[in-house]
Structure 1
Amino acid sequence: MASNRVVVYKGPGEVAVEEIDYPSLTLPDDVVSGMKLKKDAPHAAILRLVTTNICGSDQHMVRGRTTAPVGQTLGHEITGEVVELGDDVLFVKKGDICTVPFNIACGRCRMCNEGKTGICLNVNPARAGAAYGYVDMGGWIGGQAEYVMVPYADFNLLPFPDREEAMEKILDLTMLSDIFPTGYHGAYTAGVTTGSTVYVAGAGPVGLAAAHAAQLLGAAVVVVGDMNAERLAQARSFGCESVDLSSGDDLADLIEQVVGEREVDAAVDAVGFEARGHGADADEAPATVLNDCMTIARAGAGIGIPGLYVTGDPGAADDNAKEGTLGVRLGLGWAKSHSFMTGQCPVKQYNRKLMNLILRDKAQIAKAVNATKISLDEAPTGYADFDKGAAKKYVIDPHGMVA
């Protein structure tokens, strides 16, 4: 039997690569007991990881900003080769290289039938929706590993049409598991379309993915705001405009300098609950980005919110924020008839079409997010560098398969 190693949360600021059991075609105990399901999972597949990425959502746990316990396995951005199949898997073959949505979905419940795979009802007893390697998401083993089990494989796996082509474009295709669909979802639900002016808050990987997605949707100008000069330079590298929020200048003034008016047609919050106020020494203020978006989005605009917000944040600045209660100016959004889209991106709504864009050279998401390959053993260093603000999307290559 093959061995298996996975990245594990060891406490605030610390991760390690540890040996765990090789995966089996069985469901997690939490799901079995909580959902009253059978333990055996003949609908599942085991994948050998080709690539698996470090995500900003993982960083929230590693910073100690969630209720994740020590020992939590990490990783939900998974691209892998099928090496084992359950008897009930009909349409996926051994040897297929597949992208795996970070949302775990049964494909059978009401939400899945409505295309809302981010809030599947049958994969997490704690709440609707599940993900690999994430706190309160059902107890599924993380995918920053050598091998991982994927349930409901026929529904969740998207095989790439050609293995050789997939490996040539793997640094782009690896983004299909999360940040490319998530960024696209943020831009699309904000109403970005031909000729739009767009503001994206945050120049981390999801923000850069949202900015590139806005370009693909036809935006006339995409303005990215952040306080990290290196990340703002990365945004400019593929044609975005940038505004430096460390200056402390009024955001509407900065927007006007770029687009000629103080408002935009659509706004995307790609920051989430660890947002800070404006200015180089600003304190954490978790409602800042949401309020910024409402301030600079025109009346009737949409605001896409792929940035993560949580119901439990032990490191928050005040008791309200610790439970996700924030000082959001909802009255402003109501007065301006804004629409808001929150929650996990339903990856399956987008991943096949975004795959086609990559395979036809219409999208260069790896370039946009500065995809940078590392080994599994280098994951702790990748986490540390990412936490310091590196303008890179770290792609872990557990088996040395990436050229």
Structure 2
Amino acid sequence: MAENRGVVFLGQNKVEVQSIDFPKMQNPAGKKVGHGVILKVVSTNICGSDQHMVRGRTTAPTGMVLGHEITGEVIEAGSDVEYIKVGDLVTVPFNVACGRCRTCREQQTGVCLNVNPGRAGGAYGYVDMGGWIGGQAEFVFVPYADFNLIPFPDKAQAMEKILDLTMLSDILPTGFHGAVTAGVGVGSTVYVAGAGPVGMAAAASAQILGAAVVLVGDMNTDRLKHVADVGFVPVDLREGDNLGELIEKILGKPEVDAAIDAVGFEAKAQGKNGQEAPATVLNSLMSVVRAAGGIGIPGLYVTEDPGAADAAGKTGNLSLRFGLGWAKSHRFYTGQTPVLKYNRQLMQAILHGRIPIAKIVNATVISLGDAAEGYKAFDSGAAKKFVLDPHGLLGK
């Protein structure tokens, strides 16, 4: 039996690289299947969504192998796989999707009806997402390969841009989805809440969609500096508790055409002593988005949060000023990104130099063995996107 190692969740604020089972051609229920492949993982990223679990803010069980951002080389293909070949270098959308159900046929692969017995939607290495083993590992099983996987047309060219292409598994399409669903277009003024990797990907997406100006708000000094360094407009939320006033200082009026929530349920209130306030981002966005504008919400919200400060938050209930959004005829779009809907066009944008996403999110390569240190640094607010290199193929 070949060996394998993976990043295992061991409880609040504790992860460890351990020996894990080599992947088998079977689903989480143990049924053997022929529609999948086994990948040698070339790159796999630490995501802010992983941090929610590691912080103890979900019901994730200990022993879970983490990781849903995966790029890899096919080393074995199941008997029912027709079009993906051994040797292909592929990007893996984080959504596990069958390609056969109603929602998959509607390009809503984030809520596939067949891959998770508990609810609509599946993902690798994530709580309540069907039990699929995560890809922060040396090797991983990917089901429904012909539908899910996108091979890069030229392996050598792809490896030259691998730090950009590794973002296709999640954060680039997630940021793009947020911008598209917020209605960003040519000449738009855009505000992005959160300067983490998804927020930066959303800012880059707004730019490529034609935004006139992209503002990015945060309370982390290093992240705000990085926002400016890569060409966006930082908004320091520590400078006041009224977002409209901060925006007015920059744009001359306290509103934008579109906004993107790249923070989610662990948001903190504006001001110098911001405390956790899960609804604060959504409420502030409703206050600054113009009448008939749009709000894209790729930031994660959960149905169960054991670490919430109040009883309502523990079941995902937020104190939203929804009447304001209704009165302003806002459009809201939520949910997991249907990655396959965007990945081919974003791959082409990367390969042809239109979106240098690795620079924009400050992609930083570390070894698989250093994953625990990467989690700690990311949790402390480092202005970086950590990319794990399980087989030493990426360079430094």
- Give 1:282 shift: 1.6
1:122 equivalent in alignment to 2:114: yes
SS in structure 1 at match of 2:95: coil
The correspondence for 2:56, drawn from 40, 61, 64, is: 64
Counterpart residue number, 2:90? 98
Structure 2 CA distance for aligned equivalents of residues 319 and 264 of structure 1: 34
- Check whether the contact 1:221–1:259 (CA below 8 A) recurs between aligned residues: no
1:82 to 64, 74, 78: 74
Deviations 1:160-201 (CA, angstroms, capped at 9, x unpaired): 000000000000000000000000000010000000000000
Q: 2:306 aligns with which of 310, 314, 317?
A: 314
Offset of residue 239 of structure 1: 1.2
Letter in 2 for 1:259: L
Number of residue pairs the alignment of both structures matches: 395
2:252 paired residue number:
260
| Amino acid across the alignment from 1:267 | A
Amino acid at match of 2:11: G
Cα distance in 2 for partners of 1:280, 1:140 equals: 41
- What does 1:294-305 correspond to in 2, within 5 Å? 294-305=286-297
Taking the aligned partners of 1:289 and 1:85, their CA distance within structure 2 comes to: 44
Matches for 1:136-151 after TM superposition, within 5 Å: 136-151=128-143
Q: Following the alignment from structure 1 to structure 2, what is the Cα–Cα distance between the partners of residues 249 and 232?
A: 17
**Structure 1 Cα separation of the partners of residues 102 and 22 of structure 2:** 32
Distance 1:323-1:249 versus aligned 2 partners, 3 A rule: closer
SS in 1 for 2:85: coil
SS at match of 1:395: strand
Contact 1:252 1:263 in 2 (8 A): yes
- For 2:20 and 2:264, the matched residues in 1 are separated by 32
Q: Distance in 1 between matches of 2:133 and 2:242?
A: 44
Query: For residues 355 and 237 of structure 1, what CA distance do their matches in structure 2 show?
Result: 24
Equivalence for 2:389: 397
- Indicate the residue corresponding to 2:21 in structure 1: 21
* Deviations, residues 92-129 of structure 1 (Å, cap 9, x unaligned): 11111000000000000001001000000000000000
C-alpha RMSD over aligned residues: 0.7
Matches within 5 A, 1:333-344: 333-344=325-336
Deviation at 1:248, TM superposition (A): 2.5
Q: How does 1:270-281 map to 2 (within 5 A)?
A: 270-281=262-273
Contact 2:71 2:89 in 1 (8 A): yes
Alpha-carbon displacement from aligned partner over 1:121-151 (angstroms, at most 9, x marks no partner): 0000000000000001101001000000000
- Provide structure 2 residue ranges, at least 5 long, that are not aligned to the other structure: none
Q: CA deviation at 1:247?
A: 2.0
Counterpart in 2 of 1:153? Answer: 145
What letter is aligned with 2:61? P
Contact map agreement 2:240 2:246 (CA 8 A) in 1: no
Correspondence for 1:42: 34
Query: Which of 219, 222, 238 is 1:230 aligned to?
Result: 222
2:371 corresponds in structure 1 to: 379
* Cα shift at 1:249: 4.1
The 5 A counterparts of 1:181-260 are 181-260=173-252
Secondary structure of the 1:372 match is strand
Percentage of matched positions with identical amino acids:
66
Aligned residue number for residue 6 of structure 2: 6
Is the 2:70–2:91 Cα contact (8 Å) retained in structure 1? yes
Query: For 1:313 and 1:8, how far apart are their aligned partners in 2?
Result: 20
Query: 1:54 is matched by which residue type in structure 2?
Result: I
Name the CA distance, whole Å, in 1 between partners of 2:326 and 2:241: 26
- Please report the TM-score for the alignment, with normalisation by the length of structure 1: 0.97
Runs (4 or more) in structure 1 with deviation over 3 Å come to none
**Helix, strand or coil: the match of 1:384?**
helix
Give secondary structure in 2 for the equivalent of 1:320: helix
